[in-house]
Amino acid sequence: MKYIVDIGDERLEVEFDGETARIGNAVHAVHLADVEGTPVHLVAIGNRVHRVVARRHPERGRYTLRLDGWRVEAEALDERTRAIRDLTAKQATHAGPVPVTAPMPGMIVKVHVRPGDTVTPGQGVISMEAMKMENELRATTAGTVKGVLVQPGQAVERGTVLVELI
């Protein structure tokens, strides 16, 4: 099985078949043993034995490892899962200021900005009533208001772009 392992800023490709591990171009004999009644695992790689305690995080593939007294944060994913995560992360990256969108259906009560205004992260730009409560919607990034796409009294659906930023 091939895994992509991220440790800090380093990414390693590890192929493991139960007896050997290929890490980069090097092939190592690997033997695993648990210390009964403890969270300790003994990992023999070549002629070196390492004491490892692994704590699994809720997020798939994330671990905190105590390796020979060192604490290491690691993520180990199979090739397919790593490719999906990388692709999803690229798609989730938004270039430039993020538009302000309606988090739920509601009614626009007040618009606090106009085209050309400069906004800062956390600045209120729209007041919206939803579920009988008035909510102030804030910019999540800095930018200049390109356009206000709604007006007071207008009903909007979840996900509607309310303010565009550049």
In a shared domain, residues 64 and 104? no
In a shared domain, residues 136 and 87? no
pLDDT at 108: 95
CA distance 14 to 28: 11
In a shared domain, residues 38 and 71? yes
In a shared domain, residues 42 and 86? yes
In a shared domain, residues 27 and 75? yes
Residue 17 burial by Cβ neighbours in a 10 Å radius (0-12, 13-18, 19+) = exposed
End position of a domain, from candidates 42, 65, 92: 92
End position of a domain, from candidates 42, 75, 92: 92
CA distance 81 to 13: 13
In a shared domain, residues 75 and 108? no
In a shared domain, residues 7 and 58? yes
End position of a domain, from candidates 76, 92, 108: 92
In a shared domain, residues 51 and 74? yes
Domain hosting 150: range is 100-165
In a shared domain, residues 88 and 30? yes
CA distance 136 to 123: 9
pLDDT at 90: 64
pLDDT score of 98 more than 80: yes
In a shared domain, residues 10 and 86? yes
- Asked if 151 contacts 135 with a C-beta cutoff of 8 angstroms, the reply is no
**How many domains are there within the chain?**
2
Q: What is the CATH number of the domain that holds 40?
A: 3.30.700.30
In a shared domain, residues 132 and 50? no
- Give the 3-state secondary structure of residue 92: helix
List, in sequence order, every residue forming a beta bridge with 124; answer none if it has no partner: 138
CA distance 34 to 43: 9
Q: What is the pLDDT of residues 114-166, one digit of tens each?
A: 999 999 988 999 999 988 888 889 898 899 999 999 999 999 998 899 999 99
Question: Could you tell me the two tokens for 125?
Answer: 């730009």
Amino acid at position 135, single letter: N
Strands (DSSP E) contained in the chain are 2-7, 10-16, 20-23, 26-34, 40-45, 48-56, 62-67, 70-78, 100-101, 106-111, 118-119, 124-130, 133-138, 143-148, 155-156, 161-165
Q: What is the pLDDT of residues 28-86, one digit of tens each?
A: 998 889 999 999 999 998 889 999 999 999 988 999 999 888 999 999 999 888 888 88
pLDDT at 121: 87
In a shared domain, residues 11 and 79? yes
